Structure 1
Amino acid sequence: MDLLVFGASGRVGSRLCTYAATDGHRVTAFVREGSSAPDDARVVEGDVTDARTVAETVDDQDAVCSALGPETEAGTSAFTAGTENISDGMETAGVDRLVAVSAAAILQATPGRLRLDMPEFPDQLRSVATAHKTVYERLRDSALDWTLACPAQMPDGAPTNYYRTAVDYLPEDGQSISTGDVATFVYDTAVGDEYRRQRVGLAY
């Protein structure tokens, strides 16, 4: 499989590239600086806000993974614009499969309300969560074959391969999941056949 990873130098993306390359897939790492790219991957230097570069890189891929995410409020516009470019590029190139890391905030708290929309949701997280909601709505309204991995708190750590999943909701009482296990889920889902056009909550 030809697998393209955006955010390949990050905590989840770098592990994802390693897992895919170890299994023999042809991995392309899209990074801002080539020196930050993981080993065993073809490297493309670029900025996700550059629509042309994104579209050229997406072409001829079998699947795309995105570990992009705004770490701060200042990064939300680049995150949403970058994901828009990825989606547009995939639609133009006829590449359907996208698995992306999102946030637990876009999962349901109740059947009619997202976690983001609950009164107790922290104000300091609202702008970042809203950016993830914008991305979710863009994908939901697209023709892409997407999956959104929505982890609880995500400390750095190796995979345990023992974690829980829930469609549309966070697993009950779930508090955290390691970056290694999130990368495992994204990789397994990208090469597998589950959770198509679904949000998936991840936690121990």
Structure 2
Amino acid sequence: MRILILGATGRVGGKIFDKALADGHEVTTLVRDTNKLAGIFSENAIILQGNACCEKDVQNVLRDVELVISCLGTDGGTVLTESMPLVIQEMKSQGIKRIVTVGTAGILQSREHPGLLRYESPDSRRSSIRAAEEHRKAWELLAASGLDWTVVCPTYLPDGEPLGTYRVERDYLPDGGMSISVGDTADFTYKEALARGFVGCRVGLAY
């Protein structure tokens, strides 16, 4: 399969990139600094320099792709809300249907406060909601897109290898969930992209 991975230089995206290559997929990525992936030696890896917020770069990188996995973060700015409309537009133009993104548990539904998202609830521990608002806007764009989307929403994300045992729940964080490793987040995101078990929803992810 021809897979585009955005955010392949990040913690989660890098592990997904490696998994997809190991499974024999043709993997394309768009990065601002190709030196960060200089250690990748595979005939199935296509590493293009560019910016996900540039329309021409997005058009180029999505050519002939069958699946999109985005692990882009907020990057301290508006990269999510700038890039997502471009990705959606070009996916539609090229007839690509499946996209999986990594968001944040803050945009899952609150159990204690029906009608609110977790980051909106009075007991939220977030000192800033800027990143959560960015992820929310990206999710809302996907929800209105008509694409086969899934937003994976991990809670606290420490480094760590995959254990392979974790809990998932549609639109909510698994009850009492406190953390999920980078390795297991990458593991679930990659598997879900191929398995399509949670199309059209957010997925809470925690131990």
Q: TM-score range by the shorter chain?
A: over 0.9
SS at match of 2:11: coil
The residue aligned with 2:73 is: 69
SS at match of 2:202: strand
The residue aligned with 2:26 is: 26
The residue aligned with 2:116 is: 113
State the TM-score, normalizing by the size of structure 2: 0.93
The residue aligned with 1:2 is: 2
TM-fit CA distance, 1:125: 2.8
TM-fit CA distance, 1:122: 3.6
- Closer, same or farther in 2 for the Cα pair 1:91/1:120, shift >3 Å? same
Q: Distance in 1 between matches of 2:125 and 2:90?
A: 34
Q: Distance in 1 between matches of 2:48 and 2:106?
A: 31
One-letter amino acid matched to 1:196 = V
The residue aligned with 1:58 is: 62
Q: Distance in 2 between matches of 1:100 and 1:193?
A: 13
Does structure 2 conserve the Cα–Cα contact (< 8 Å) formed by 1:157 and 1:179? Answer: yes
Unaligned runs of 5+ in 1: none
The 5 A counterparts of 1:1-204 are: 1-37=1-37, 39=40, 40=42, 41-72=45-76, 75=77, 77-110=78-111, 111-204=114-207
SS at match of 1:29: strand
Q: Distance in 2 between matches of 1:108 and 1:8?
A: 28
Q: Distance in 1 between matches of 2:84 and 2:127?
A: 22
One-letter amino acid matched to 2:110 = A
Does structure 1 conserve the Cα–Cα contact (< 8 Å) formed by 2:119 and 2:126? Answer: no
TM-fit CA distance, 1:123: 4.9
Percentage of matched positions with identical amino acids: 38
1:32-89 deviation line (CA, Å, top 9, x unaligned)? 11111262321011111101111221121110000001143xx2x1221012211121
State the TM-score, normalizing by the size of structure 1: 0.94
Q: Distance in 2 between matches of 1:59 and 1:30?
A: 12
Count of residues in Structure 1 that have an aligned counterpart in Structure 2: 201
TM-fit CA distance, 1:121: 2.1
Moved over 4 A (4+): none
Q: Judge which range, 109-118 or 60-69, deviates more.
A: 109-118
